[in-house]
Amino acid sequence: MKQALYLTIVLSIMLSNESIYAQTHPNEFQQVESEVVDSIYSKTLDSYRHFWVKLPESYNPKSDRKYPVIYVLDGFSLQSNLEVVYNNYWGHYLPQMILVGISNRIHRTRDLTISKIETRRGSEMQTESGGAEKFTAFIESDLMPYIDKTFQTSSYRTLIGHSYAGLFTINTLLHHSHLFTNYIAIDPSIEWDNQKLLIQAKEILKAKNFDGKGLFVALAAEQLNMQDASVTIDNLMEDTSEFSLFARSILEFSQYASAQQQNKLNVVYKVYPEDLHGTVPLPAMRDGLVSLFQWFQFKYPQKYNNPDTSVQDLRALLNAQEVIYTKNFGYKSPPMIEELFNGYGYMNLQMGQPEKALLFFSMALKYYPQSANAYDAMADYYLSQDDNLKAIEYLTKALEISGNLYHKEKLDALKK
């Protein structure tokens, strides 16, 4: 009973993002700014566009490790939403990723809408519209190449958009599906221009192959009809008023997209009965990312924690996990993030199972050969086995990589 309780506590600690770095030294990559705010000039838009980039804590420019990327439109408005979701769910539910927020403060309506219209909801349009294709060209030809050249990115990308940006997100999926792997459309304005995109979608979704692509659509349903509280999600499609067109269009699109099994698009949609248009981005980002990355979720953690699981079985589990990741990312990918390798390694040392600890530490070095922390962990393993010479060898390598005071002091103390 005591052992089972101990294992539960260890697993909880390992999968907590606050403590997963218990064996990681934050000064290791101190030369890298974790967040960058920048801008680039776009000939397509004839203007500068601002954006921010948030790097994972493990980011090391000296390694060849590449990261998936999330692009969020209205990036400065939705930055805190995305960061709180990512910070709470990376590791077990989400891979470590580079986050990019694109500013849409200037010319938002123009850049995110798919066609030019003169009136909307009975009123004259006061802003320019219909520039989505140009803004897509900016993302594809200007922003993405800059991000890919500057940072260690992979081609596995996710696009997130809310409202007009949700309309833009679905338009990108339908007409430029090669740009992103996943699309999260939150309360998308798909009723735009007499449901123009909805009409197009019904043709495209029938004819086009979306194998390997994922779409999550969110609908805030606290106010389905701003003039009639009797309209609910159950009778929404029976209402024909202008006031329910926004919600009806989202629901109709979501149901139609979900029914098209032949195109192989992974579609998930969710209705949020307690949320308004302005509150739904936070829960929708959480649900969208977790659902579209469901394949990433760590398999069989209880077996990794079970002291009776053999080294051979652990190795088989890791090999199977690597196959899943490699298939979905489209490139060879480690079966665990480095922090989990080290976490399980230290856990097994504490449990008196050095052979298992060696397996995890060795695999951390195999997949993260430029990590000073991986060498430091291996040094701790040899210290636990009273092999000081080996420990010095690995600490020396850790110091060569990091150059930080922690490793120097540790190495000096060991040599004495």
Q: What is the pLDDT of residues 126-165, one digit of tens each?
A: 789 999 999 999 999 999 999 999 999 999 999 999 999 9
Q: What are the structural domain ranges in the chain?
A: 32-296, 301-415
Instruction: Judge whether 193 and 244 are in contact, CB under 8 Å.
Output: no
Q: What is the bridge-based pairing of β-strands 182-186 and 98-102?
A: unpaired
pTM of the model: 0.88
| Whole-number Å distance between alpha carbons of 234 and 240 | 14
Is a pLDDT exceeding 80 seen at residue 378? yes
Q: What is the pLDDT of residues 170-206, one digit of tens each?
A: 999 999 999 999 999 999 999 999 999 999 999 999 9
Report percent pLDDT > 90 for the chain.
75
3.30.1360.70, 3.40.50.620, 3.40.50.970, 1.25.40.10: which CATH number matches 301-415? Answer: 1.25.40.10
| Whole-number Å distance between alpha carbons of 353 and 304 | 12
145 to 39, 142, 149, 151, 239: CA distances (angstroms)? 13, 6, 6, 10, 46
Is a pLDDT exceeding 80 seen at residue 259? yes
Instruction: Judge whether 155 and 98 are in contact, CB under 8 Å.
Output: no
CATH of the domain spanning 32-296: 3.40.50.1820
Residues in Cβ contact with 102 at an 8 Å cutoff, skipping those fewer than 6 apart: 49, 51, 71, 72, 73, 74, 75, 139, 143
Indicate the pLDDT class of residue 241, thresholds 50, 70 and 90: confident
**Minimum mean pLDDT among 69-73, 122-126, 376-380: which range?**
122-126
Name the burial class of residue 372, with classes exposed (0-12), middle (13-18) and buried (19+) by CB atoms within 10 angstroms of its CB: buried
Indicate the Cα dihedral angle 239, 245, 251, 257, nearest 10°.
120
